[in-house]
Structure 1
Amino acid sequence: MALLVQKFGGTSVGSIERIEAVAERVIKARQLGHQVVVVVSAMAGETNRLLGLAKQIDAVPTQRELDVLLSTGEQVTIALLAMALNQKGYLATSLTGDQLGIRTDAVFNNATITVVETEVVTELLERDHIVVVAGFQGRDSRNNITTLGRGGSDTTAVAIAGALAADECQIFTDVDGVYTTDPRLVSEAARLSTIHFDDMTAMARHGAKVLQLQSVEYAERHQVPLRVLSSFDEGEGTLVDFSTVPSEGAAGVAVKGQQALYRVAQPLEKVEPQLGLLGFDAWCYGDSQQATYIVAADDELARLNVIFEKTELAQPSVATLTLVGEGVEGNSAKVAALLTEKGVGVYQQKSAARCVSLLINGQDLQLAVEHIHKKFVVEPESLDNRPLLAVS
């Protein structure tokens, strides 16, 4: 018998029918004799609906009260899922983050988990209950409700798995695993059965969205095996752990689209510290006129305008792609040359250990990823005899 922590996102619990399907998936694990803790997000669209209500009252809501409001989305889901499990004849108890004992720092809207208390959940598991927990939330030392920010439910699941020494933390999502690149862009992308944490962390940092970076880093620190599975299809998914040997050579291509390039009339050495103070992790570079260009997602312009008095739109659509793998930084010139040969303009490129990143025109993203993936991931060695990294 194993102890499993299963996490289901907003799409997976987006309707009563899907909540019923999640209940059946959880019951299958219980029927195999496993103890199960389920972590769920709010129903798809609910967090945005609540945020919209808040902004009808105040365009910049008080952060504390916003957390009180946003945390209610998950409370609805845990109650409905526990009801579904109970109705099907299985003991189930729902817990908010506070009720379970998830303690955080006092950073509203983007809190960090400091402690996960295990007494309540352990006692329920010992009584053969399925425990259904609200993701994305906790309580600070002054009894304020806090939320964990983007990817918070994944982090909740990993933190609980670590505290309970669970055998596996299973992340159920709308894809059936982790791929060599985004399968929506490249038809040759292949799902991988296993990935080493070092590779997955690098890819999540550079845009692979199947797992949130914070949750991957937390799982790596606490030695929690992760498995990515589909909420809608059967399969073994992709296991992220330490037993797989990290890839040698080019391993996969991570991408970030829907970005723009902004210009700030300040030198790079002044811009970078200002971005760092607000935790804004952006690719930026300077030019000969002592101005700085900043790559930012479309929804981050408001934050840039808070930091800088004036930002100019330099390019409305840019994208970044990152080739990851052992020693790929030595191929930086070859990667850029290939894209130039295929008619893709490269604005900037940078290299670091195991990474080569390029900034390109957003309209060229699919073309660029197809060529880089084929040349540096597929061609050097077939997918059948090499354990490649999977990203999506």
Structure 2
Amino acid sequence: MPILVMKFGGTSVADPGRIKAAAEKVRGEVENGSDVIVIVSAMAGRTNELVGWVDSIAPFYDAREYDAVVSSGENVTAGLMALTLQEMDVPARSWQGWQVPVRTSSAHGAARIEEIPRANIDGKFADGMKVAVVAGFQGISPEGRITTLGRGGSDTTAVAFAAAFGAERCDIYTDVDGVYTTDPRICSKARRLERIAFEEMLELASLGAKVLQTRSVELAMRYNVPLRVLSSFEETGASSGTIVCGEEDIMESRVISGVAYSRDEAKMTLTAVADRPGIAAAIFGPLAEAGVNVDMIVQNISEEGRTDMTFSCPVPQVTRAEQALQAAREKGQIDFAELIADTEVAKISVVGIGMRSHAGVAARMFQALASEGINIKVITTSEIKISVLVERKYMELAVQALHDAFELDKAGQPELAAKAN
């Protein structure tokens, strides 16, 4: 029988009523002739509650016990989903990560999936089981301990199962009905995309779009697993949602696919840094050791052997970055005049595979921001994206201006393509 993977996020299984609605969608796929692997998250808010309990008891917790606690939310959902399906006369069974087994690394709290053997679940399918309900977000380490995959890990679980079982498709059910050109809450003209390339989705996910976890998109791209993002609260059909697929499977011609934003960004600048070989390693080495996620990096032109080094990082990591750099300074590893942290910035990015073959994208972006009086603090580019840092108070205006400038409310953007050429 063909295998379909269906993943339901926390809002989709927030209570017994929503679990029943999700189970109806699963039953529909079974009636259409598929064996189904359902991946479930914990009920909405449950993981945060469990994390809070751990923090209240042991702020400096044992990561192995942390995983044992926070993985329990998915176990509850999996059991309830299996029971609901059984009440609908659908042969279903729940599976925890260790029962499959989902074999992972030993990095508790951020484990990576290494192998998913098919034998156990395939055997149950052969015996008449129609639905395997698997607890997402969790696995088992080589030492036999429960592990978790990090926030959003159920998306990664779903894609990994789709790859391991050669599924026809992996459907991700969430509280939105697809991937939009930007956040509809900010821009009323945002348009749902019928298809988006893996590379574009990966950039959007890493730049702040919350639809899919970054690691799940990486895995889907590596194994060429077609993803479909759907709403669990709407009736679905063949044309529902957004398909995330290979670039070669996209017929619609467009230069820019979307505008992403990240609100909680900080811009940090080291002034008068000695401009010498190895200085970048001396700065960013301690930051990496401290677990600071550095994104945009800009170095100014050197004057009299001194330069300024600017980088961005998440606001919650600013204190950690400051401590790491001050410690490196005290050890004599780096020398700088001042460390300036600006925590009132936002990152705005435009993403599109069409940038590879169209000139003028950067000019249009910068002109759109300039026409609204928005000053750019930092710019970085890659093959399919351009990102800027602007004052946070202009974030929504910048997103709207760029969405209009690139005519993202229009399918295909034919006028933009012509102008870009």
> Following TM superposition, by how much is the alpha carbon of 1:256 offset from its aligned partner in structure 2, in angstroms?
1.3
1:342 aligned to which of 363, 369, 372:
372
Structure 2 match to 1:359: 389
> Following TM superposition, by how much is the alpha carbon of 1:316 offset from its aligned partner in structure 2, in angstroms?
3.0
Instruction: List per-residue Cα deviations over 1:167-220 (Å, max 9, x = no partner).
Output: 000000110001111111111111111222232223223222211111011011
> Following TM superposition, by how much is the alpha carbon of 1:279 offset from its aligned partner in structure 2, in angstroms?
7.0
Paired AA for residue 227 in structure 2: L
Bigger shift: 43-52 or 241-250?
241-250
Q: Secondary structure at the match of 1:12?
A: helix
Paired AA for residue 296 in structure 2: W
Percent of residue pairs bearing the same amino acid type? 38
Instruction: List per-residue Cα deviations over 1:127-158 (Å, max 9, x = no partner).
Output: 23311001111111111111101221000000
**1:366-377 equivalence runs, <5 A:** 366-377=396-407
> Following TM superposition, by how much is the alpha carbon of 1:298 offset from its aligned partner in structure 2, in angstroms?
3.7
Bigger shift: 308-317 or 120-129?
308-317
Instruction: List per-residue Cα deviations over 1:256-297 (Å, max 9, x = no partner).
Output: 123333456795713323334447243244567756444333
Structure 1 match to 2:313: 296
Structure 2 match to 1:256: 262
Q: Is the 8 A contact 2:294 2:311 kept in 1?
A: no
> Following TM superposition, by how much is the alpha carbon of 1:307 offset from its aligned partner in structure 2, in angstroms?
3.8
> Following TM superposition, by how much is the alpha carbon of 1:301 offset from its aligned partner in structure 2, in angstroms?
4.1
Structure 2 match to 1:27: 27
> Following TM superposition, by how much is the alpha carbon of 1:343 offset from its aligned partner in structure 2, in angstroms?
1.5
Structure 2 match to 1:323: 350
Q: Between Structure 1 and Structure 2, whose CA radius of gyration is higher?
A: 2
Provide the rounded CA distance (Å) in 2 between the counterparts of 1:292 and 1:65. 40
Does 2:137 match 1:122? no
Instruction: List per-residue Cα deviations over 1:235-273 (Å, max 9, x = no partner).
Output: 311111221158552332122123333456795713323
Structure 2 match to 1:227: 228
Provide the rounded CA distance (Å) in 1 between the counterparts of 2:99 and 2:272. 48
Structure 2 match to 1:80: 80
Provide the rounded CA distance (Å) in 2 between the counterparts of 1:266 and 1:12. 52
The gaps in structure 1 that reach 5 residues or longer are: none
> Following TM superposition, by how much is the alpha carbon of 1:350 offset from its aligned partner in structure 2, in angstroms?
1.4
Provide the rounded CA distance (Å) in 2 between the counterparts of 1:300 and 1:190. 33
Structure 2 match to 1:98: 98
The gaps in structure 2 that reach 5 residues or longer are: 274-278, 328-337, 417-421
Provide the rounded CA distance (Å) in 1 between the counterparts of 2:272 and 2:51. 34
Q: Is the 8 A contact 1:41 1:136 kept in 2?
A: yes
Normalised by the length of structure 1, the TM-score is: 0.90
Bigger shift: 273-282 or 149-158?
273-282
Structure 2 match to 1:164: 165
Bigger shift: 201-210 or 304-313?
304-313
CA RMSD of aligned residues (A): 2.5
Structure 1 match to 2:37: 37
Provide the rounded CA distance (Å) in 1 between the counterparts of 2:26 and 2:268. 46
> Following TM superposition, by how much is the alpha carbon of 1:97 offset from its aligned partner in structure 2, in angstroms?
0.8
**1:202-241 equivalence runs, <5 A:** 202-235=203-236, 236-241=240-245
Bigger shift: 283-292 or 364-373?
283-292
> Following TM superposition, by how much is the alpha carbon of 1:22 offset from its aligned partner in structure 2, in angstroms?
1.2
Bigger shift: 33-42 or 241-250?
241-250
Provide the rounded CA distance (Å) in 2 between the counterparts of 1:142 and 1:266. 49
Paired AA for residue 295 in structure 1: S
Does 2:286 match 1:274? yes
Provide the rounded CA distance (Å) in 2 between the counterparts of 1:164 and 1:68. 27
Instruction: List per-residue Cα deviations over 1:33-63 (Å, max 9, x = no partner).
Output: 2111100111111111111111111212111
Q: Is the 8 A contact 1:264 1:308 kept in 2?
A: no
Q: Secondary structure at the match of 1:215?
A: helix
Provide the rounded CA distance (Å) in 2 between the counterparts of 1:264 and 1:43. 44
Instruction: List per-residue Cα deviations over 1:103-123 (Å, max 9, x = no partner).
Output: 111111101101011111112
Bigger shift: 236-245 or 218-227?
236-245
Seen in structure 2, the aligned counterparts of structure 1 residues 281 and 159 have a Cα distance that, compared at 3 Å, is farther
2:411 aligned to which of 383, 388, 391:
383
Seen in structure 2, the aligned counterparts of structure 1 residues 53 and 344 have a Cα distance that, compared at 3 Å, is same
Paired AA for residue 411 in structure 2: L
Seen in structure 2, the aligned counterparts of structure 1 residues 292 and 50 have a Cα distance that, compared at 3 Å, is farther
Paired AA for residue 62 in structure 2: T
Q: Secondary structure at the match of 1:346?
A: coil
Provide the rounded CA distance (Å) in 1 between the counterparts of 2:322 and 2:99. 39
Q: Is the 8 A contact 1:11 1:44 kept in 2?
A: yes
Seen in structure 2, the aligned counterparts of structure 1 residues 25 and 101 have a Cα distance that, compared at 3 Å, is same
Structure 2 match to 1:314: 341
Q: Is the 8 A contact 2:105 2:114 kept in 1?
A: yes
Structure 2 match to 1:62: 62
Provide the rounded CA distance (Å) in 2 between the counterparts of 1:263 and 1:10. 39
Seen in structure 2, the aligned counterparts of structure 1 residues 301 and 197 have a Cα distance that, compared at 3 Å, is same
Provide the rounded CA distance (Å) in 2 between the counterparts of 1:279 and 1:260. 12
Provide the rounded CA distance (Å) in 2 between the counterparts of 1:144 and 1:224. 29
Instruction: List per-residue Cα deviations over 1:304-350 (Å, max 9, x = no partner).
Output: 36644489773332211111222267432442232122111211111
Seen in structure 2, the aligned counterparts of structure 1 residues 114 and 302 have a Cα distance that, compared at 3 Å, is farther
Provide the rounded CA distance (Å) in 2 between the counterparts of 1:250 and 1:17. 39
Seen in structure 2, the aligned counterparts of structure 1 residues 378 and 50 have a Cα distance that, compared at 3 Å, is closer
> Following TM superposition, by how much is the alpha carbon of 1:302 offset from its aligned partner in structure 2, in angstroms?
5.9
